[in-house]
Structure 1
Amino acid sequence: MKFNPWFLILGMSIVTYLPRMLPMLILSKRTIPEKLAKWMSFIPVSIFSALVFSDIFFWNGSVDVNPLSNLKLLPSILTAIIAYYTKSLLWAMILGVASLSFFIYLS
């Protein structure tokens, strides 16, 4: 029996689609309490913060806040400053990647 990758792709797409679609179908006719809606509005920010900060401060398997040994710390600070002053995601991303590449090149 020959393996058909299309069945695998179809199965993965169903497994990915159902958890997103079912809550919309079930909750579309219900109203969510205002307190719950406000609480849920903070979830994307908190998840993004946890992902970013864990990537910045964990270096070589431990927490490292020393900018001389943690190569991600200084470029992250520079990126935050650039993003604050320019209000441009494009410039923050370009200069953040460039500064991280520069510091990795120097090490």
Structure 2
Amino acid sequence: MGIISFILMVAGMFLVTFIPRVLPLALLGNKELPEKVVLWLSFIPAAVLSALLAPAILLQNGSLYLSLENTSLVAFFPTLLVAYKTKNIFYTVSGGLVFYLLTSVLF
């Protein structure tokens, strides 16, 4: 890859990440959004995180892997309980790491 291609690639990556972040702020920064829109937007982070984590938890080699040997799936349930009880992202992530380490050692 030549230096020109590399610079163009970095510039393109900058544009496709910068514009979607700045454009909504520039257009909507001074406006009050309706309550329903704010409520709808509040669900986006959880939906995106779920979409990213579900395949990692449920799939192995492209197929469904529901087994007690699936340490990710076993660690998911106590992590879900921590998330429900605390509603705190720090405790949820920390608990998930601890549960995953424990299940990988035990199973």
| Structure with higher helix content | 2
CA RMSD of aligned residues (A): 3.0
**1:76 corresponds to:** 76
**1:99 corresponds to:** 102
Do the aligned residues in 2 keep the contact of 1:58 with 1:64 (CA within 8 Å)? Answer: yes
Aligned positions of 1:1-107 closer than 5 A: 3=3, 8-68=9-69, 70-81=70-81, 84=85, 88-89=91-92, 91-99=94-102, 101-102=104-105
The normalised TM-score by structure 2 is 0.65
Give the deviation of 1:53 after TM superposition: 2.3
Give the Cα–Cα distance (whole angstroms) in 2 for the partners of residues 80 and 39 of structure 1: 22
Q: Percent identity?
A: 29
- Rg comparison, structure with higher value: 1
Give the Cα–Cα distance (whole angstroms) in 1 for the partners of residues 82 and 34 of structure 2: 38
After TM superposition, the runs of 4+ consecutive aligned structure 1 residues lying more than 4 A away are 4-8, 81-85
The normalised TM-score by structure 1 is 0.65
Give the Cα–Cα distance (whole angstroms) in 2 for the partners of residues 44 and 99 of structure 1: 27
Structure 2: gaps spanning 5 or more residues: none
How many residues were matched structurally?
A: 101
- CA 66–97 in structure 1, closer or farther in 2 if over 3 Å, else same: closer
- Larger RCO, structure (CA 8 Å, separation 6 or more): 2
Give the Cα–Cα distance (whole angstroms) in 1 for the partners of residues 94 and 71 of structure 2: 20
Structure 1: gaps spanning 5 or more residues: none
Amino acid at match of 1:77: F
Do the aligned residues in 2 keep the contact of 1:78 with 1:96 (CA within 8 Å)? Answer: yes
